[in-house]
Amino acid sequence: MRIFNFDEQLIPLDEWIQTFVDWLVLNYREFFQIIKVPVEISLEGLEWLFFTLPPWLIIVAIACAAWRYAGRRVTVFTVLTFFLIGYLGLWEDTMTTLAMVICSVVFCAVVGIPLGILAGRSDRAEMWMRPFLDAMQTTPAFVYLIPVVMLFSIGTVSGILATIVFALPPIIRLTSLGIRQVHPELIEAALAFGATSKQVLFKVQFPLALPSIMAGLNQTLMMALSMVVIAALIGAGGLGNPVVQGLNTLEIGLATIGGLSIVLLAMVLDRITQGIGQK
């Protein structure tokens, strides 16, 4: 029976998608270039800041943040990490990666927290968002690179845009979860005392959901760092470059120091953001 003939492709979905993306590129390329502008400006500003400031000042600033939120041991680990990265000759790549990650996380927070609040307060919005979030979290990271390159060309900004899409779901899901976990009696008490819906959100729900929101921000940060190496494949700078270069030329040492720097940077940022969430 033809209905069970799986040897032939009966649904040309790949051709339909290709046609749709080609149509977007042909008709809306300028629109997608406009989307790049705020990301590009933010990235250039952060890179200018990190490359202008002396390394010792950046180390002191991050160490102070570690001391304030994560304790003495994390502070010592942070200082040793950045000295090691500097002595490995990867300081500039690390600053580029740090700028990329901060830029990605900021845009994820700007977009994800309001969407998470909407999903947390509306069952219908949560129902509509769920399949998109499932698709975003289960789609392989490499798949994001193809439409991003076609719509935004190659470069660091395109890598950040792919990272934003890849790292967005955790902060939306955990913000929604935090809002939904606020006890209904607290909301009823606030309403009974005459609080408006806006006051209930900002005075009751959001403060109580903040630990969950910070956990989502931490997961978004980790996913953004995991995208660094993949983004390097489309021309994004940073610590992904030595890993990709080492892979292409089979230089195991170069790839190892790049991967080690990513791991150490991820550990530092993870401990600091976890400390902020606990505080």
In contact, 79 and 63? CB cutoff 8 Å: yes
Residue 8, in any domain of the structure: no
Listed in sequence order, the residues at least 6 apart from 39 whose beta carbon sits closer than 8 Å to its beta carbon are 103, 107, 157, 160, 161, 164
pLDDT value at residue 79: 92
Dist CA 28 CA 157 (whole Å)? 18
| Structural domain boundaries, residue 229 | 90-278
Residue 250, in any domain of the structure: yes
Q: Give this prediction's pTM.
A: 0.85
Residue 9, in any domain of the structure: no
Residue 67, in any domain of the structure: no
Residue 20, in any domain of the structure: no
Per-residue burial over 93-120, b = 16 or more CB atoms within 10 Å of its CB, e = otherwise: bbbbbbbbbbbbbebbbeebbebbbbbb
pLDDT value at residue 72: 86
Residue 258, in any domain of the structure: yes
pLDDT value at residue 80: 93
pLDDT value at residue 70: 80
pLDDT value at residue 140: 79
pLDDT value at residue 7: 67
Residue 141: half-sphere exposure toward Cβ, Cα within 13 Å: 21
pLDDT value at residue 3: 62
pLDDT value at residue 4: 61
pLDDT value at residue 22: 80
Residue 134, in any domain of the structure: yes
Using alpha carbons only, give the angle 44, 66, 255 rounded to the nearest 5 degrees.
60
pLDDT value at residue 36: 81
Dist CA 150 CA 164 (whole Å)? 17
Residue 195, in any domain of the structure: yes
Number of domains in the chain: 1
Of 140, 133, 150, nearest to 18 by C-alpha is: 150
Tokens of 45: 């500003």
Which CATH number is 240's domain given?
1.10.3720.10
Counting as low any pLDDT under 50, the low residues of the chain are none
Which tens digit of pLDDT belongs to each residue from 68-95?
A: 888 888 899 999 999 999 888 888 888 9
Dist CA 158 CA 36 (whole Å)? 8
